[in-house]
Amino acid sequence: MIHVEELTKVYQMGETEVRALDGASFTIEKGEMLAIMGPSGSGKSTLMSIIGCLDVPSSGRYTLDDVSVENMDETRLADVRGRKIGFVFQQFNLLARTSALENVKLPLTYAGYSGKERDDRAMKALERVGLGDRTHHAPNELSGGQQQRVAIARAIVNQPAILLADEPTGALDSKTGVEIMDLFQSLHRENGQTVILVTHDAHVARHTERIIRLSDGKIISDEVNPNPIKAGAPRLEE
């Protein structure tokens, strides 16, 4: 599904050239659940932006479903994002004065669905994440974990092939974080979606089947996780 080859991303900071990515290459098969892991400044957020068609590389190739992405303009990138990729972010990014249902309906509105179909699909997505009884609650009436569930419902409502999550448990306590990982594993298992988690947290990464580690813009390891943590398992201290 995803193939990247010798990706680089260079930023110019005054007279200094910063290589946020430096020759990253890997392939992600359809239906995998994996983590892209590294400390702050490792290049993982830059890589997520490129995989998610939010940015393009300075050089190298990125192929998504056999289509080259690296030279697309913003209009084509936006089309790919809308059709193929669902995003979940650390800070939820919900509209503050809008109900859970309206937040989830937003991608459907952009995609041109009719009013009834928007309502039906958004309702099903909220029920899928366990919030069928919170449809009319605004974000400030929901807990952090519930807000992240709304964000996940919004990410899956268009039934994207790829679910891309950036530090999805970073704003949550450890117990709620385990519940969110349970939900990601369940979505992966039931829907066969490709799930990519971008994280600095080793515990989050160990819930996945494969871990790609970055440092200074380079891939330093790419390993299968033989024993993923099953959702619901208690967190052990590092």
- The percent of residues in the chain predicted with pLDDT above 70, rounded, is 97
Query: Is 90 exceeded by the pLDDT of residue 231?
Result: no
Query: Is 70 exceeded by the pLDDT of residue 111?
Result: yes
Q: Is residue 113 part of a domain?
A: yes
Q: Is residue 219 part of a domain?
A: yes
Q: Is residue 127 part of a domain?
A: yes
Q: Is residue 236 part of a domain?
A: no
Q: For the whole model, what pTM was predicted?
A: 0.91
Give the pLDDT score at 232.
Answer: 57
Q: State how many domains the chain has.
A: 1
pLDDT in tens, 33-44: 999 999 988 999
| Residue 192: pLDDT band with limits 50, 70, 90 | confident
Q: Is residue 234 part of a domain?
A: no
Q: Is residue 186 part of a domain?
A: yes
pLDDT in tens, 123-169: 999 999 999 999 999 999 999 999 999 999 999 999 999 999 999 99
According to the 3-state scheme, what is the secondary structure of the chain? CEEEEEEEEEEEECCEEEEEEEEEEEEECCCCEEEEECCCCCCHHHHHHHHCCCCCCCEEEEEECCEECCCCCHHHHHHHHHHHEEEECCCCCCCCCCCHHHHHHHHHHHHCCCHHHHHHHHHHHHHHCCCCCCCCCCHHHCCHHHHHHHHHHHHHCCCCCEEEEECCCCCCCHHHHHHHHHHHHHHHHHHCCEEEEEECCHHHHCCCCEEEEEECCEEEEEEECCCCCCCCCCCCCC
| Residue 234: pLDDT band with limits 50, 70, 90 | low
Q: Is residue 148 part of a domain?
A: yes
Query: Is 50 exceeded by the pLDDT of residue 238?
Result: no
Give the pLDDT score at 233.
Answer: 55
Higher pLDDT, 14 or 138: 138
| Residue 29: pLDDT band with limits 50, 70, 90 | very high
Mean pLDDT on 68-94: 90
Q: Is residue 237 part of a domain?
A: no
Say which CATH number the domain at 116 has: 3.40.50.300
Give the pLDDT score at 155.
Answer: 95
pLDDT in tens, 45-74: 999 999 999 999 999 999 999 889 888 889
Residue 102: domain span: 2-224
- What is the rounded average pLDDT for all residues in the chain? 91
| Residue 95: pLDDT band with limits 50, 70, 90 | very high
